[in-house]
Structure 1
Amino acid sequence: MEIGIATFITDEGIRPDVLAAAAEERGFSSLQIAEHSHIPVSRETPYPGGGELPHVYYRTLDPFVALTAAAGATSKLKLGTGVALLQQRDVIHTAKEVASLDLVSRGRFIFGVGVGWNREEMRNHGTDPRTRGALVDEQLAALKEIWAKDEAEFHGEYVDFNPIYAWPKPVQKPHPPIYIGGAGEKVLQRIAKFGDGWLPHAHTPPEDLRQARQWLADQGRSDLKFSAFGASPDEEQLRGLVSGGVDEATLFLPTEPEAATLERLDRYAKVAENFRKGQQA
């Protein structure tokens, strides 16, 4: 199992290019970053983690800008959105951003997507929270058309456009891997139909991971990768993820200034090294 990094990149923490270079230097497999376009001042949707919404949610950089900076500072590190809130995005602009980032990173982008939880946030983008899942399904189908065809068109209930030209096309073929976040039956169905991988929360029990793997295999999708998002630097939890059939775990990195972040990355690197040695033993 590979070990990557998951974090929120903000204007108050380490720069994305410095973080990415440091993560690559220490042997981590990927850098996955979160997205929120904004946080409404009047918010009724409860934070899924419980309690007050953490400060970092208010200050995230645009993930495509941040990951472009990260791409320029690295050569091997995989770069991913964890997750892009697709239901709040224009699908044609997103197709261009994904393909552009895949191009400038020389084929190292992983497109992590989700349907989101902050209903007030998505309403500000004109999205009805009740139909966001159906919208994302159409967006994913439309994105694949844009990436695959010189003259792409799509006609759905929520996404509709006549033939268009849209370049660049992604470096990775047929497109960058699409990893879908979330949990539950509808998410697994979305993964089976549109995904190349799953981004389960790292606290998902191993038995649930194994059951999901079996269900997806029964749908003919035994090829999917599992990347557990936001793990603790705890070897017992990492061993549990291995037993659940996870291919990669991303350690959650708190958002801190550069010096503190680099110190924490050094500690995480030791955890990853010890874990790898234990796997090889």
Structure 2
Amino acid sequence: MRTGVFYFPTDYGIETGELARALEERGFDSLFLCEHTHIPVSRRSPFPGGGELPRRYKHTHDPFVALSFAAATTKTLLLGTGVCLIPQRDPIITAKSVASLDRLSGGRFVFGVGGGWNVEEMENHGARYPTRFKLMEERIRAMQALWTEEEASFHGEFVDFDPVWCYPKPVQRPHPPVLLGGETDYTLKRVVSFCQGWFPRAGAGFDPAEARARLHAMAERMGRDPATLSMTVFRAPPEARALEAYHAAGIERVLLEVPDLDRDGILRRLDELAPLAA
């Protein structure tokens, strides 16, 4: 089992290149960056975690720009989005960002994606909450076409374009793995249908063995080989004994949280977490 981290790449926290170097030096597998393009002041959508929205949600760098700095300062660290909010992104531009980062990093990109929860944020991008998952699926399928076809085209309800040339192509074949976040059976159906892995959150009551069994059962029900699907667990517990259960369940990767601290506080926390990456 591999151990990575996730982080909100804020404009007041540690510089992303320095964080990436520190992670690679300490033996971590990967760095996944969270995304919010902006936060509408109206705050109609309640924070899913309860209470006030944490400050970091309003201060994140663009994940592809930040991951480019991380790529430039490391050699082996995997670079991921955790998650990229697909309903808020143009698929052709995003496909080029993904392919460019994967190519410039030597095939180290992992594409964690999700539908999003902030209604007014996605509305500012022209997306609607009730249809966000259908929009997300079309955009991901369109991007997969752009990565794998010399003259790609796509015709759907939300995404529609005739044959185009779109380069560069990713280093990874057929394309970087797409990991979908969420915990419902609907999410699992989407994972099996058009993704390469599941990206659940380790909330209260999360059982890694049960989650793995759910994924395998859905794959078998839909006629897909479960061995073609991976699991990366977001916000896994930072405790060796708890992580033993994840390893025993066959989870491929766990992500630990890098907290919302200043540079020195983050580096101290990485030193505390480093034994879990061994």
Smaller-chain TM-score bracket: over 0.9
CA drift at 1:231: 1.8
Which position in structure 2 is the counterpart of 1:236? 241
Which position in structure 2 is the counterpart of 1:226? 231
Conservation of the 8 A alpha-carbon contact between 1:202 and 1:241? no
Which position in structure 1 is the counterpart of 2:210? 208
Secondary structure at the aligned position of 2:214 is classed as helix
RMSD across aligned C-alpha pairs, in angstroms?
Answer: 1.2
Which position in structure 2 is the counterpart of 1:113? 113
1:61-102 deviation per Cα after TM superposition (whole angstroms, max 9, x unaligned): 000000000000000000000000001000000010000000
Q: TM-score, normalising length from structure 2?
A: 0.95
- In 2: Cα distance, 1:154 partner to 1:217 partner: 26
Structure 1 residues 243 and 146, CA, compared in 2 at 3 Å: closer, same or farther?
same
Q: 1:266 aligns with which of 265, 271, 275?
A: 271
Secondary structure at the aligned position of 2:167 is classed as coil
- Say if 2:256 is the partner of 1:251: yes
1:110-141 deviation per Cα after TM superposition (whole angstroms, max 9, x unaligned): 00000011111000100011000001111111
Conservation of the 8 A alpha-carbon contact between 1:231 and 1:251? yes
CA drift at 1:202: 2.2
- In 2: Cα distance, 1:265 partner to 1:174 partner: 34
Secondary structure at the aligned position of 1:254 is classed as coil
| Higher deviation after alignment, 257-266 or 203-212 | 203-212
- Say if 2:195 is the partner of 1:191: no
Secondary structure at the aligned position of 2:201 is classed as coil
CA drift at 1:230: 1.3
| Higher deviation after alignment, 146-155 or 79-88 | 146-155
Structure 1 residues 257 and 238, CA, compared in 2 at 3 Å: closer, same or farther?
same
Which position in structure 2 is the counterpart of 1:128? 128
CA drift at 1:207: 4.5
1:225-264 deviation per Cα after TM superposition (whole angstroms, max 9, x unaligned): 1010112311233123224331111111112222111111
Runs of 4+ in 1 over 4 A off after TM superposition: none
Secondary structure at the aligned position of 2:211 is classed as helix
Aligned identity (percent) is: 48
1:146-187 deviation per Cα after TM superposition (whole angstroms, max 9, x unaligned): 111121111100101111111111010110011111111211
- In 1: Cα distance, 2:276 partner to 2:248 partner: 18
Which one-letter code corresponds to 2:69 in the other structure?
Answer: A
Q: TM-score, normalising length from structure 1?
A: 0.94
Which position in structure 1 is the counterpart of 2:181? 181
Unaligned runs of 5+ in 2: none
Across the two proteins, how many residue pairs are aligned to each other?
273
- In 1: Cα distance, 2:177 partner to 2:42 partner: 36
- In 1: Cα distance, 2:271 partner to 2:121 partner: 36
| Higher deviation after alignment, 204-213 or 131-140 | 204-213
Conservation of the 8 A alpha-carbon contact between 1:103 and 1:171? yes
Which position in structure 2 is the counterpart of 1:94? 94
Secondary structure at the aligned position of 2:172 is classed as coil
- In 1: Cα distance, 2:210 partner to 2:200 partner: 10
CA drift at 1:272: 3.2
Secondary structure at the aligned position of 2:35 is classed as coil
